[in-house]
A and B are shown apart, each in its own frame.
Chain A
């Protein structure tokens, strides 16, 4: 863990050098930290507060106000089920239920093997393709429960292939 902590420190130091320490840079800084680590490690938030010279609670309040930020490590693959209106009337909630059933986790959680994390997103603006799920930044159109199984099968096959190569 110590090595990991040091690495995090190094990385955000470089980031800080690139961005100025103006208060209004708080959100862009947090966005870049999340881009780098996939979430906001608690220590980095303390560092940010020190860097911007603002109370720690201000950083925490921004990090928890906006839906984009997550405070726990993500899974290897991210699954974001769109909950927009068009997706809803075409069965977005059914798709979400299918993901929850298959991954055996609730929305906002990560699978115990850290392969997948599941969350919802308000609307990705692909309403014409509803219902959609964003899997690892790729928008999957018409993602009904059968498609969910198909996507998971793809990942499983890919993993088996990788395991074979590694062994």
Chain B
């Protein structure tokens, strides 16, 4: 670092920062209450916009003086919509499962009547004597929020919120360093690509920096196509500036003038937030011509992905940005030497780039002391499926799956038994109970046949059929295969046909061998990651849950009672309450009627579409609706 004259940009940024901090102070001081409503996509799905409206109205009607603003995703998706109220003298209190009516009451109770409505409290932000804070939660000792630190706490539409929280300070620091020094710092930190493959980021940067060819490009991969993953969406919706800052620093380090951020069109809110963030960064002279008065210039363009999973693959993404169908090409040449428009290009995931400002700020040592020997830092996971605390979590690498699912995730819903966890989407695998004690890092997961992937984790319980899950993923990859490689195009189709036969009770034992053979062939005969990893869900389920495949084939029975062709719904006459009509009323196809003689409910198997509605509707004290497999176990009507 040069000690000489005041480096360019510092003065301008100091002004910006002072303004941002006083703006934040004004909002978040201890004079006036503040209400925050989480309005990321999952909050909206749960009704957050109506809640926001209700808050605005009650504040207006009751003449309450308070600030209201929208925030992103706190990660507690299971409790959406979330409202956070801060009143001077109280900690910031977060309420969960808020409805518009409840929101009105919470606001008036706390702000006007000093009643914190303890029964609706999820937790407090700060430690205090009144309410358990989030850091007192048992899960807090496993979590470490670095990438997610601002998510749900700032308004993603206001760059000043981000700056007041330390945003763009690393950019100022980076501009004072030589680009090579930044590359070296990232290399020393051992940051690995958090998009799933785990390639060392610093190495990519170095090759690109040293490559001949101008202009160079930087691409941020936000094409989170894995079904079951939503980390990148949440980050882009909740704290887009951390990613933008990372992009600008990366651009400076590798010597790029132009950056692209590729976001899926299926994430309209993320697209909107990113667009806004790009505009604001340019307005504040943090990007564009002469960033902060330096001689470095960097423009960022948003590119909307058009719904092709394969575009998450680097070379396919480049084809897509060039305006072509997203078909991967052979590597080498590596992107770092020959990428977008044939020029040296670095492509990093959203989370990798969000980490860059932190590493620049705190240094490589700070980063590399977290995590394991070969995987440093933290990992962000999206927990979904049959787990209590669905949502986003960030834990240091090396945390075990068991800690993540049971301590942080709160275990399995409805007291059911854990069966498997699906990690890494269509490229990953299903790990059983006995694999839960392995540490989460790039290499351990791969050894077990799964992979880190982008970080989607779907928890499966005893009601999930592993053959059906494997069929589901094959169906997905088969549809998403771009068709370039024969084995990926036709091999996955063949595997899918076999799996469909098995789930319909038409499988043969020799099919299992064919599946394994095909899987190996597809792995060898495919060019890109999509094909090479497509068989993973089948291979891992065959490895860990072979008995389920055999039950389907030999007994025509689905042990989890999930495969629709192999099961039927039945109402146990002894348990059915005579006067209750819940199932009859809710049946979506009028397949349930009352047997006049015995005055019990009977399902017409011909009409039944197996939609599970009656099972949900049957009151728990009767619990009369059951699933049977194989269907010929159904008692014959008398």
Q: Check if A91 is an interface residue, CB within 8 A of chain B.
A: yes
**In the complex the two chains form, is B308's CB within 8 Å of A90's CB?**
no
Q: Check if B10 is an interface residue, CB within 8 A of chain A.
A: no
The interface bits of chain B over 583-600 (1 if a CB of A lies within 8 angstroms of the residue's CB, else 0) are 000101100000000000
Q: Check if A132 is an interface residue, CB within 8 A of chain B.
A: yes
- Which stretch in B15-23, B173-181, B260-268, B618-626 binds the other chain? B260-268
Chain A residues, Cβ within 8 Å of B325:
61-62, 65-66
Q: Check if B166 is an interface residue, CB within 8 A of chain A.
A: no
Q: Which of A26, A69, A94 has the most CB of B within 10 A?
A: A94
Q: What is the minimal beta-carbon distance from B496 to any residue of chain A, in angstroms?
A: 15
- Which stretch in A5-13, A81-89, A154-162 binds the other chain? A81-89
B268, closest chain A residue (CB): A137
Within 8 A of A (CB), among B394-412: none
Chain A residues, Cβ within 8 Å of B324:
58, 62
Q: With A84-B228, A88-B472, A129-B77 in contact, is A27–B44 under 8 Å at CB?
A: no
**In the complex the two chains form, is A139's CB within 8 Å of B44's CB?**
yes
The distance in angstroms between the C-alpha atoms of A89 and B307, with both chains bound, is 22
**In the complex the two chains form, is B588's CB within 8 Å of A90's CB?**
no
Q: Check if B382 is an interface residue, CB within 8 A of chain A.
A: yes
Q: Check if A101 is an interface residue, CB within 8 A of chain B.
A: yes
For B384, give its contact among A27, A94, A127 (CB under 8 Å): A127
Q: What is the minimal beta-carbon distance from A90 to any residue of chain B, in angstroms?
A: 7
For A141, give its contact among B46, B230, B480, B589 (CB under 8 Å): B46
Q: Check if A145 is an interface residue, CB within 8 A of chain B.
A: yes
Within 8 A of B (CB), among A66-115: 66-69, 83-91, 94, 97-98, 101
**In the complex the two chains form, is A123's CB within 8 Å of B308's CB?**
no
Q: With A94-B612, A97-B609 in contact, is A86–B385 under 8 Å at CB?
A: yes
Within 8 A of B (CB), among A121-153: 121-130, 132, 137-141, 144-146, 149
Q: Check if B273 is an interface residue, CB within 8 A of chain A.
A: no
**In the complex the two chains form, is B306's CB within 8 Å of A129's CB?**
no
**In the complex the two chains form, is A85's CB within 8 Å of B385's CB?**
yes
Chain A residues, Cβ within 8 Å of B322:
23-24
- Which stretch in B219-227, B246-254, B538-546 binds the other chain? B219-227
The distance in angstroms between the C-alpha atoms of A23 and B323, with both chains bound, is 6
Within 8 A of A (CB), among B245-299: 265-268
For A128, give its contact among B80, B224, B307, B473 (CB under 8 Å): B80
**In the complex the two chains form, is B306's CB within 8 Å of A122's CB?**
no
**In the complex the two chains form, is A86's CB within 8 Å of B228's CB?**
yes
The interface bits of chain A over 18-43 (1 if a CB of B lies within 8 angstroms of the residue's CB, else 0) are 00000111111011000000000000
Chain B residues, Cβ within 8 Å of A121:
266, 307
Q: What is the minimal beta-carbon distance from A73 to any residue of chain B, in angstroms?
A: 19
Q: Check if B460 is an interface residue, CB within 8 A of chain A.
A: yes
The distance in angstroms between the C-alpha atoms of A137 and B41, with both chains bound, is 11
A149, closest chain B residue (CB): B588
For B458, give its contact among A89, A141, A149 (CB under 8 Å): A89
Chain B residues, Cβ within 8 Å of A58:
324
The distance in angstroms between the C-alpha atoms of A124 and B46, with both chains bound, is 14
Chain B residues, Cβ within 8 Å of A94:
610-612
The interface bits of chain B over 436-461 (1 if a CB of A lies within 8 angstroms of the residue's CB, else 0) are 00000000000000000000101010
Q: Check if B530 is an interface residue, CB within 8 A of chain A.
A: no
Q: How many residues of A contact B (CB 8 A)?
A: 49
For B385, give its contact among A30, A83, A89 (CB under 8 Å): A89
Q: Check if B320 is an interface residue, CB within 8 A of chain A.
A: yes
Q: What is the minimal beta-carbon distance from A152 to any residue of chain B, in angstroms?
A: 11
**In the complex the two chains form, is B42's CB within 8 Å of A126's CB?**
yes
Chain A residues, Cβ within 8 Å of B326:
65-66
**In the complex the two chains form, is A144's CB within 8 Å of B266's CB?**
no
The distance in angstroms between the C-alpha atoms of A65 and B265, with both chains bound, is 15
For B308, give its contact among A67, A101, A138 (CB under 8 Å): A67
The distance in angstroms between the C-alpha atoms of A62 and B385, with both chains bound, is 34
Q: Check if B469 is an interface residue, CB within 8 A of chain A.
A: yes
Q: Check if B559 is an interface residue, CB within 8 A of chain A.
A: no
**In the complex the two chains form, is B472's CB within 8 Å of A125's CB?**
no
For B227, give its contact among A26, A84, A90, A146 (CB under 8 Å): A84
B613, closest chain A residue (CB): A145
Chain A residues, Cβ within 8 Å of B320:
27
Chain B residues, Cβ within 8 Å of A83:
227, 476
**In the complex the two chains form, is A68's CB within 8 Å of B265's CB?**
yes
B44, closest chain A residue (CB): A139
Q: With A66-B308, A91-B612 in contact, is A86–B458 under 8 Å at CB?
A: yes
**In the complex the two chains form, is A123's CB within 8 Å of B227's CB?**
yes
For B609, give its contact among A26, A61, A101 (CB under 8 Å): A101
Q: What is the minimal beta-carbon distance from B322 to any residue of chain A, in angstroms?
A: 5
**In the complex the two chains form, is A98's CB within 8 Å of B308's CB?**
no
Chain B residues, Cβ within 8 Å of A84:
227-228
**In the complex the two chains form, is B309's CB within 8 Å of A122's CB?**
yes
B78, closest chain A residue (CB): A128
**In the complex the two chains form, is B45's CB within 8 Å of A26's CB?**
no
Q: What is the minimal beta-carbon distance from B239 to any residue of chain A, in angstroms?
A: 16
The distance in angstroms between the C-alpha atoms of A28 and B307, with both chains bound, is 13
Q: Which of B227, B382, B391 has the most CB of A within 10 A?
A: B227
**In the complex the two chains form, is B306's CB within 8 Å of A69's CB?**
yes
The distance in angstroms between the C-alpha atoms of A24 and B219, with both chains bound, is 15
Q: Which of A23, A138, A146 has the most CB of B within 10 A?
A: A146
For A67, give its contact among B303, B307, B616 (CB under 8 Å): B307
The distance in angstroms between the C-alpha atoms of A24 and B303, with both chains bound, is 11
For A146, give its contact among B323, B609, B613 (CB under 8 Å): B613
- Of the A-B pairs whose beta carbons lie under 8 Å apart in the complex, a sample of 24, sorted by A's number, is A23-B322, A27-B306, A27-B323, A28-B304, A62-B324, A65-B482, A67-B306, A83-B476, A85-B384, A86-B227, A122-B225, A122-B307, A122-B480, A123-B230, A123-B266, A124-B41, A124-B267, A125-B229, A127-B229, A127-B230, A127-B382, A128-B384, A138-B44, A139-B44
In the A-B complex, the 9 residue pairs with the closest CB atoms: A128-B77, A85-B228, A127-B384, A66-B306, A67-B307, A125-B230, A84-B227, A86-B384, A128-B390
Residues of A within 8 A of B (CB): 23-28, 30-31, 58, 61-62, 65-69, 83-91, 94, 97-98, 101, 121-130, 132, 137-141, 144-146, 149
Further contacts, 6 of them, CB under 8 A, given A123-B228, A127-B229: A26-B323, A85-B228, A101-B588, A125-B229, A128-B80, A139-B44
